[in-house]
Structure 1
């Protein structure tokens, strides 16, 4: 019965809210083993399998296909043109990938096409930083509140009473994060950042040198941001080094499938569901997701949560990754962006899939009770109010 199958979301919502309230409450104990991806998601805080039945493989694949078909003809948005390389990318590319915490992979469209990771790099480097120096130091040196400003804002730094970036997921915060990674040299710092990406993705993610050169030649805005941070003595390493490493990490190539695997590692409490490797702690994973929920799509994050109801992060390369904690991550790639720098097709497609599978964390069906969750309320809501192509 469909209602019973999808009637499990109240546990997920309460788990996620507990995660925001206090450390260690959402993901509970660490996975029992890091060598068996199929059991890596098991933790003391999770209910019995009968209370959290996943949609069938057919339902997941059909949800992806329907979303891809619904939005592949969307003409809204345009490629980022302030980075010359991105302006030349085929705007018709469009792919979706979903990876579960059991390590199952589903794709449709251009899910294996590579694109620059750009700002999608931010939460993963942030997670590594929290593992290295602790979450308290990140909060003290950068801040964790949404800025309400565009991702490349300088105003937010000036408005902050301590002249901090305010949030690790805007450019100023990400440059600061890179500068704070403990290392003896720039090369050692980059190795930590790069190895971390590879661990999250379960694959070697190369730097696109053409993108790196293109961004280095045109990153005047980030030069200004890093100079301002440096003037307030916020950075943890020399300004030029921090800016260069930030530019390099944004130039890493990724596919929608690899990005979904990175997100699924967060969904799985820090364990890569494909490789079984523990990348970060459950506490770091839940803190990272909390920041994605509050500032992942910049000034449009509120609208995103209103529509999709799950933590997500975007990048101006056209990618978005969204995470349903304890269940799966879904990634999409489509170059045309809205005015806030978020992929138009990717937003709409992911929102439709999440709601059609009943995984909107804020959806609930009246009268179902805590044991029944949303009863697929997100799915029903989407069917009643389908998005405009």
Structure 2
């Protein structure tokens, strides 16, 4: 397997030069666009890796899958989906346009920024510190890495440059979708996006979802099978931003990307895959990671369709 992965890295590294690293969060612009790494964690406990698999990066929008699981456990499905819809948008992940033009005025799904901010606001806790700590502890458990923590430079960079997210959040409080102090809500959101991981960490989270909400290493059920299935479904329909439909046809597996360059994929009952390549395409997905997943899906027949 590692021979296959090393070949994937060698064949696709040049593609990273066709994209660009994210700069709208200034600290993300420091990433090396040549970086490309992959890790597979399978149901038998094997870990296969190649390339820059141990490079640290911030989880960014991949965290939306994790906050969604926690919010569903905290509040139940009915309340969560009263405030956030279940449909793809066709718009960019940070688009604000449909918040005002659709009725009821709520985000269309939890994988876009507006929806993820609402989801973060639903995490239980007496203050923003307790809410974030619960999310971090949850992520540590399902990844099997109790050392996960935030990258403070990225967190502060996100916080200082997040005016579009603030605009969406204040609008949503105005129409009754979000309650409470907006800066506190956003602080939890910025922190969750700034958690630092590597390809192994997100491969293990993908494996957790592939194993229907059970941590494979311990056998502990952390979320219900229904919640795990719902999250994987959102990954298929909305996980690759406004490129999710094309990705479903070309690759055919549940996946969630982040502008830090990560992609987490989950093949039900089989494996989790973590990829890293900070050079992004025009939709905000890792351009090298996307192509490696496409090649891997074809060679190993991973499509769920």
TM range (shorter): over 0.9
Aligned partner of 1:222 in structure 2 is: 165
Pair 1:193 & 2:135 matched: yes
Of 208, 214, 223, the match for 1:265: 208
Helix, strand or coil: the match of 2:94? Answer: coil
- Normalised by the length of structure 2, the TM-score is 0.96
1:106 aligns with 2:48: yes
Deviations along 1:285-329, whole A, 9 cap, x unmatched?
000000111000111001111110011100000000111111111
Q: Return the alpha-carbon distance in structure 2 between the equivalents of residues 102 and 203 of structure 1.
A: 18
Q: Distance in 2 between matches of 1:275 and 1:175?
A: 31
User: Is 1:72 paired with 2:13?
Assistant: yes
Is 1:91 equivalent to 2:33 in the alignment?
A: yes
Give the Cα separation in 1 of the matches to 2:45 and 2:184: 37
Instruction: Report what 2:79 is aligned to.
Output: 137
Partners of 2:43 and 2:178 in 1: CA distance:
36
> Aligned Cα RMSD in Å?
1.2
Q: Distance in 2 between matches of 1:191 and 1:116?
A: 17
In the alignment, structure 1 residue 299 sits paired with structure 2 residue 242:
yes
Q: CA deviation at 1:104?
A: 1.5
1:100 positional shift: 1.0
Whether contact under 8 Å (2:261, 2:278) holds in the other structure is yes
In structure 2, C-alpha distance between the alignment counterparts of 1:338 and 1:201, rounded to whole Å: 27
> Is contact 2:94-2:112 (8 Å) kept?
yes
Partner of 2:4: 63
Aligned to 1:178: 120
C-alpha distance in structure 1 between counterparts of 2:5 and 2:67, whole Å: 28
Aligned residues: 303
1:334 aligns with 2:277: yes
Helix, strand or coil at the partner of 1:178: helix
Whether the 8 Å contact between 1:337 and 1:343 is mirrored in structure 2 is yes
Cα offset, 1:252, TM superposition: 0.5
Q: Distance in 2 between matches of 1:203 and 1:97?
A: 15
Alpha-carbon separation, structure 1, partners of 2:13 and 2:158: 28
CA distance in structure 2 between the partners assigned to 1:106 and 1:136 by the alignment: 39
SS at structure 2 position matched to 1:63: helix
Larger Rg: 1
Alignment-derived partner of residue 379 in structure 1:
none
Q: TM-score, normalised by structure 1?
A: 0.76
C-alpha separation in 2, matches of 1:352 and 1:200:
27
Residue of 113, 120, 135 corresponding to 2:62: 120
Unaligned runs of 5+ in 1: 1-59, 363-389
Deviation at 1:279, TM superposition (A): 2.1
8 Å Cα contact 1:118-1:252 kept in structure 2: yes
CA distance in 1, matches of 2:19, 2:92: 17
How far is 1:210 from its partner? 0.6
Q: Helix, strand or coil for the counterpart of 2:150?
A: coil
Aligned to 1:81: 23
Counterpart Cα distance in 2 of 1:160 and 1:242: 23
Task: Mark the CA change 1:240 to 1:207 in structure 2 (over 3 Å): closer, same or farther.
Answer: same
Query: Which residue of 1 is the match for residue 262 of structure 2?
Result: 319
Report whether the alignment pairs 1:203 with 2:145: yes
Please list the CA deviations of residues 110-150 of structure 1 after superposition, one character each: whole Å capped at 9, or x if unmatched: 11111010001001110111112112222221111111111
**How far is 1:237 from its partner?**
3.3
Partner of 2:111, secondary structure, is coil
**1:277 and 2:230 correspond:** no
Runs of at least 4 residues off by over 6 Å: none
